[in-house]
Structure 1
Amino acid sequence: MDRRAWHEHATRALSVVGCTALVLGLTGTAAHAHSSSRDLGRQTLGADDGWAAHGTGTTGGAAADAEHVYTVSDWAGFKAALADGGDAPKIIKVKGTIDAVSEGCDAFSAPGYDFGAYLEKYAPETWGLEQDLSAEPDDSPEGLRRASAAQQDAAIKANIPANTTIVGLGRDAGIKGASLQIKGVDNVIIRNLTLESPIDCFPQWDPTDGDRGNWNSEYDTAVVYGSTHVWLDHNTFTDGEHPDSEAPTYFGMLYQQHDGELDIVRGANYVTASWNVFTEHDKTILIGNSDSESTAAGDRGKLKVTFHHNLFKNLVESAPRVRFGQVDVYNNHFVADDSYAYSFGIGKESQLVAEHNAFTLPEGISPAKILKRWNDAPLTAANNLVNGKRTDLIAVHNAEIPEETLWSGAGWTPALRAQVHPVWAVPALVKFGAGAGRVR
């Protein structure tokens, strides 16, 4: 059965038993909170719904009193609501689309900064590829870039406090150009938002990065840094108006203005990402940000994350790339295009379990590419379908890429799964249920 026929078969199969009723019923079962409230801000993560349900569970701001429920429609109001009331439970309802960079990149430029002068001074034919820019003085093009970047950093990052729920109202709520920082806190819920990746207005040129130099950017759409009990549900992560495919090249390299869509790092723990759409991005999700022993000491035994019923569409790589953590990935649909590099990055001491997932790959792209070995670590990969065919992802990888042999057996068995659906049904379930505007 080819890819199109398989997808049509899955959709027809759902239709036979009542597509709309089944999809609404199944997505509601998995995505609905413990509360029966129709107010999304009062809903909490259900029991056994991934790692974020561990221990105390995840309730966000569900217990907020009336004084700590906010409806916001602009960036200033959003940041003010975050800052008000400290760690007291709060619910922030986002109305419409909030733009953190509504005045454009020029609003962050330091006096005297000129991108043309930057390109002229650091062109490889004049600057070379052996000397980095770290020693450049403050009044140099690089120094002025640094100052401009610092102003953007202060403006677009939003620190999310503990015991907070952020939820979009209706089908068109979103935040663009911002970096949500869930840092060093516990108990956060983010739901029903279209999150457009921030663009780095001032990427840095690093002549020493690789053989040809490279542009390096900052700002992830959302960062879970040293935090616990975080639930990300029914959001759409996208590059939106600024896809990499439309980015220019300078010095012969892509002018990269995006970092990741979601980073879970620095000892973060107990995270569930459910019914989201991750689309149109390069390096998408990073779990554990370094192999270094100093970082590893804080990551070992943590970075426990669950991904279920998400759509990963038209991504290049890292969905996710994993270091150290016990990461459970089940009932997701991965849809690739010709830019595809890999989905699961097997990193240092990772313990990935990938089961009951569906993959739709274009003609000419082998299932062997789904796994990418960065370090020698075992994983469990069972009952996955590729273009409708049951596929042993480890076996096909090892057969075609023997120099990167992977080993089966992650060494643990996920227990926190609220509901596992048959893998043949996953593409249609995710199609109708995942993303912003589809939460119930």
Structure 2
Amino acid sequence: MHPQRWHGHVTTRTMAALVGCTALVLTLTGTASAQADTSDPARQTLGAKDGWGSYGSGTTGGAAADTDHVYTVTTWAGFKAALAAGGSAPKIIKVKGTIDAVSEGCDALAVPGYDFDAYLAKYAPEKWGLDTDLSAEPDDSPEGLRRASADNQDQQIKANVPANTTIIGVGRNAGFKGASLQIKAVDNVIVRNLTFESPVDCFPQWDPTDTSTGAWNSEYDTAVVYGSTHVWLDHNTFTDGSHPDSKAPTYFGTLYQQHDGELDIVRGSNYVTASWNAFADHDKTLMIGNSDSESTAAGDRGKLKVTLHHNLFRNLVERAPRVRFGQVDVYNNHFVAGQDYVYSFGIGKESQLVAEHNAFTLPAGISPAKILKKWMDSPLTAADNRVNGKVVDLIAVHNAEIPGEMLRSDGDWTPTLRTKIDSTKAVPAVVDHRAGAGRIC
């Protein structure tokens, strides 16, 4: 078997978390008063009116856990065991250090007989063409062996989070590499103070029929909220880390894409707040609603209510977020674009986006007209946003410069679940100083 290009073995480099607040010091006692002690970040709950996650019953995670359901983990196996222990009883999982979900490297996940060079040789466009996908390839073919290897990775790196759980990093340098956190069909989950280095798909699939030239398609979002309710993601850092797309090779003239999304909120999920996170150095970043299909829409309409506030979006390409169906409130975030920037807000099917009091820092030559991207006709509200320090009407500038994608203003709902709204002028300093892992005060 030929070693995988570029990704090979996920490095054991310790990820440096962002500096800022004093590192967390977590203590554990067994008294009832300690369980209700909000001075311990592991037992803190989402505050009242803090976004959609606070709606109704609110989001408390594992704050009520007894001492038998508080775990400190340092390995991937230990983390998975803690998730499985105790069912849906309230639990707190404290993550200490950086846990690598693929510590033995990609080659350890490949099935016998898988060979990347053989895969490239068989499916090269000049030989295979661009008209037939690989879905019918038999199990003993290069594609069949790739599928089996991909199944091994799927089972290895996905971690299913049960209801009533808090997962929190200890100190500044806690987090995961190569993991895919699955918050699926559960209620009441908190994830805080963790640095996530995006999983690298060891076995991307070549699809000759994807676009006119074919494309490599990868799996594994860093975190997925799928059919779940009352979720709070706070003070986390999401990054491609040591494996940015800029280091990826090309095969068949196309980028060998090994990343999917950093955070997806899909399939009827509802009442989610993402606050004070840092999303950095990634392409397709944050998707709310994953399909325009009518079968998916039936489960998404009236749901996908999400609040994003005080997050730092730095050096991203697109989807920050792309929205379908949901009432999504995006306020007091800072968007710092790089030269590869495509857009921030994707206006999708039946979306109801309110984007207010945000700050954008764009490099020279990139117009504010690119901040909004129309995928389908849906009204939105975009008020009091600043670009490079100046107030800009994002809808007006978009419609003036991209008249073929006219957007409608004035959505039909007004957010009420907000904490203190910072002055838009102050947002860059406030968010840059406090967002991300290692900065819980």
TM range (shorter): over 0.9
Quote the Cα distance in structure 2 between the aligned partners of 1:149 and 1:315: 27
The one-letter amino acid of 1:176's match is K
Residue 119 of structure 1, CA deviation: 0.3
Post-superposition Cα deviations, 1:313-356, rounded to whole Å, max 9, x if no partner, equal 00000000000000000000000010000000000000000000
| Contact 1:278/1:313 (8 A) holds in 2 | yes
Quote the Cα distance in structure 2 between the aligned partners of 1:236 and 1:353: 24
Taking the TM superposition and a 5 Å limit, the aligned residue runs for 1:3-402 are 37-402=38-403
The one-letter amino acid of 1:171's match is R
Quote the Cα distance in structure 2 between the aligned partners of 1:411 and 1:329: 15
Indicate the SS of the match to 1:96. Answer: strand
Residue 409 of structure 1, CA deviation: 1.1
2:404 maps to: 403
Structure 1 vs Structure 2: percent identity of aligned residues?
Answer: 78
Higher helix share: 1
Residue 241 of structure 1, CA deviation: 0.8
Residue 39 of structure 1, CA deviation: 1.5
Quote the Cα distance in structure 1 between the aligned partners of 2:36 and 2:370: 41
Indicate the SS of the match to 2:87. Answer: coil
The one-letter amino acid of 1:383's match is D
| Contact 1:35/1:44 (8 A) holds in 2 | no
Post-superposition Cα deviations, 1:345-393, rounded to whole Å, max 9, x if no partner, equal 0000000000000000000000000000000000000000000110000
Query: Are residues 110 and 345 of structure 1, via their aligned partners in 2, closer, same or farther at CA, if it must alter by over 3 Å?
Result: same
Q: TM-score, normalised by structure 2?
A: 0.92
Quote the Cα distance in structure 1 between the aligned partners of 2:306 and 2:181: 18
| Contact 2:216/2:255 (8 A) holds in 1 | yes
Indicate the SS of the match to 1:273. Answer: strand
Query: Are residues 65 and 36 of structure 1, via their aligned partners in 2, closer, same or farther at CA, if it must alter by over 3 Å?
Result: closer
The one-letter amino acid of 2:385's match is N
2:421 maps to: 420
Post-superposition Cα deviations, 1:190-233, rounded to whole Å, max 9, x if no partner, equal 00000110010000000000000000000000000000000000
Taking the TM superposition and a 5 Å limit, the aligned residue runs for 1:421-436 are 421-436=422-437
The one-letter amino acid of 2:303's match is K
The one-letter amino acid of 1:167's match is I
Indicate the SS of the match to 2:171. Answer: coil
Indicate the SS of the match to 1:155. Answer: helix
| Contact 2:330/2:354 (8 A) holds in 1 | yes
The one-letter amino acid of 1:336's match is A
Residue 411 of structure 1, CA deviation: 0.6
Indicate the SS of the match to 2:82. Answer: helix
Residue 37 of structure 1, CA deviation: 2.5
Residue 398 of structure 1, CA deviation: 0.1
Quote the Cα distance in structure 2 between the aligned partners of 1:218 and 1:37: 37
| CA RMSD after TM alignment | 1.1
The one-letter amino acid of 1:79's match is K
Residue 111 of structure 1, CA deviation: 0.5
The one-letter amino acid of 1:227's match is S
Q: Which runs of 5+ in 1 are unaligned?
A: 1-22, 25-33
| Contact 2:192/2:235 (8 A) holds in 1 | yes
| Contact 2:102/2:178 (8 A) holds in 1 | yes
Indicate the SS of the match to 1:125. Answer: helix
Indicate the SS of the match to 2:127. Answer: helix
| Contact 1:156/1:177 (8 A) holds in 2 | yes
Indicate the SS of the match to 1:259. Answer: coil
Quote the Cα distance in structure 1 between the aligned partners of 2:146 and 2:248: 19
Q: Which runs of 5+ in 2 are unaligned?
A: 1-19, 22-34
Residue 79 of structure 1, CA deviation: 0.1
Indicate the SS of the match to 2:292. Answer: coil
Residue 36 of structure 1, CA deviation: 5.7
Count of matched residue pairs: 409
Residue 38 of structure 1, CA deviation: 2.6
| Contact 2:36/2:63 (8 A) holds in 1 | no
Post-superposition Cα deviations, 1:134-193, rounded to whole Å, max 9, x if no partner, equal 110000000000000000000100000000000000000011100000000000000000
Quote the Cα distance in structure 1 between the aligned partners of 2:350 and 2:256: 33
Query: Are residues 337 and 380 of structure 1, via their aligned partners in 2, closer, same or farther at CA, if it must alter by over 3 Å?
Result: same
| Contact 1:351/1:410 (8 A) holds in 2 | yes
Post-superposition Cα deviations, 1:68-116, rounded to whole Å, max 9, x if no partner, equal 0000000000000000000000000000000000000011101000000
Quote the Cα distance in structure 1 between the aligned partners of 2:411 and 2:248: 39
The one-letter amino acid of 1:170's match is G
2:9 maps to: none
| Contact 1:345/1:372 (8 A) holds in 2 | yes
The one-letter amino acid of 2:300's match is D
Indicate the SS of the match to 2:80. Answer: helix
Indicate the SS of the match to 1:174. Answer: strand
Quote the Cα distance in structure 2 between the aligned partners of 1:197 and 1:138: 29
Quote the Cα distance in structure 2 between the aligned partners of 1:144 and 1:374: 37
Quote the Cα distance in structure 2 between the aligned partners of 1:318 and 1:220: 13
Indicate the SS of the match to 1:425. Answer: helix
Quote the Cα distance in structure 2 between the aligned partners of 1:254 and 1:92: 37
